[in-house]
Amino acid sequence: MSNIVNRICDTLHHLLESVEVDPSPILTVAYSGGVDSTLLLHALAHYRDRHDLDVHAVHVHHGLSDNADSWLAHCERECRFLDIPFTANKVDIEQTTRTSLEALARNARYAALHDYCKQHNSILCLGQHSEDQLETVLLQLKRGAGPQGLAGMGAFQWRNKVLTLRPMLQESKQDILSAAQQLNLNWVEDESNADTRFDRNFLRNEVLPLLTARWPQMAKTTGRSAALCAEQSALLETEAKTHLSHCESVSAFGTSMLSGKYILSLSDSWKRAVIRQWFASKGALAPSQAQLVQVLNMLNAREDATPKVTFSWGYVARYQGSLYWVNNADERVKRELTLPEGSTLTLAWLNLQLRFESNFEEEKPLQLVVKTDVKGLKIKPANAQVSKPLKDWYKYWKIPVWERAKIPVVFFKEDAIALLINGDVVRLHRCPASFQLTVVSS
């Protein structure tokens, strides 16, 4: 067996020992049919035979090449020869004007791989090597990335709740090619790899040959720099998590919020680090430098203002000095629901249930209506002296603007008789004394 195959197996074994995984995990190879994933597949087949565990292979068919079907057939044959369970996943890619085909294909590929790994509770194994790491670091440098981006790809990392291993990250492309030829392996060549319109291909075909001709150890030393950046990034992340734990809390509406007072007490660098960590904890893409500035500037906005910075998942808003994480509209919020006497109504968006009992003798059966996004209403709570518009009471109760549409208002016939505020029933002056409204946690 080739030395490189033994090194890959040893690296894989070390990675599996360094993370908490099942004693006999399923290892899933992202198998494109190219030389890198082909050598990885054969190395893992060797590792399987030595350690008695399962190895699967997943091939993602993008449909972007005329050769895509023949590549799939090739991969299926190789897996049959190695007695490795094979799955082909076809994905559809629709290019938009603002997203590159390269990025769309990558996202679709990872989505398919992650779905498979989640379904089979398996570990994803990728065949990326040292030159891939060099390309990644250069691309991150081009984008103006910080230590986290310049750390490149980790030998192991969790991504989308899937453990990903890269046991070939220390291997060179030339060693991989030499080993594949020595072992008489069969692989396919993707003609798109020669298309220098794609950034990574431009680096691989035009830039890296010049760099490595001048500095042969470029990939190795860049890998070392990436590892140092990863180490520094981990230290920053640990400290940022500590700061985040000191300033993050959950509002009465279940919304994550950060204490503006605490954030403002930090240095500018730590302010940015804590906001980035907040985004990471929510599984969201890190904000750009401009977005970070906008978020932090909100803390100095007028006291009566409610500024916000919008993202694809929702927005960050400032309210009464704190920053709130507000997701896009909750589809579980219902505009109108009925609540018959003696029954319990589930309010899924609040994780609550509302029960209605009554001794009202005038008419049976009784039925209440629960509405949300109620506007233009004037109410008087049972313990209040005056009537005010509902929006004024929301201000008095300190209900953030974005939460108001979710507030359930209970009606009997045409009259508003109660509201649910912060998980409690607020009875209004028109609520019959014989009506009992009780909140139950779901």
Q: Binding site for ATP: which residues?
A: 32-37
Q: Which helix (H) or strand (E) holds 243?
A: helix 218-247
Cα–Cα nearest to 257, from 272, 244, 268, 267: 244
CB 128 within 8 A of CB 168: yes
Q: Where are the beta strands (DSSP E) in 66-138?
A: 86-90, 122-125
What is the CB neighbour count within 10 angstroms for residue 164? 23
Residues flagged as binding site:
32-37
Euclidean distance between CA atoms 410 and 421, whole angstroms: 12
Q: Which helix (H) or strand (E) holds 415?
A: strand 415-421
CA 132 remoteness from chain centre: 24
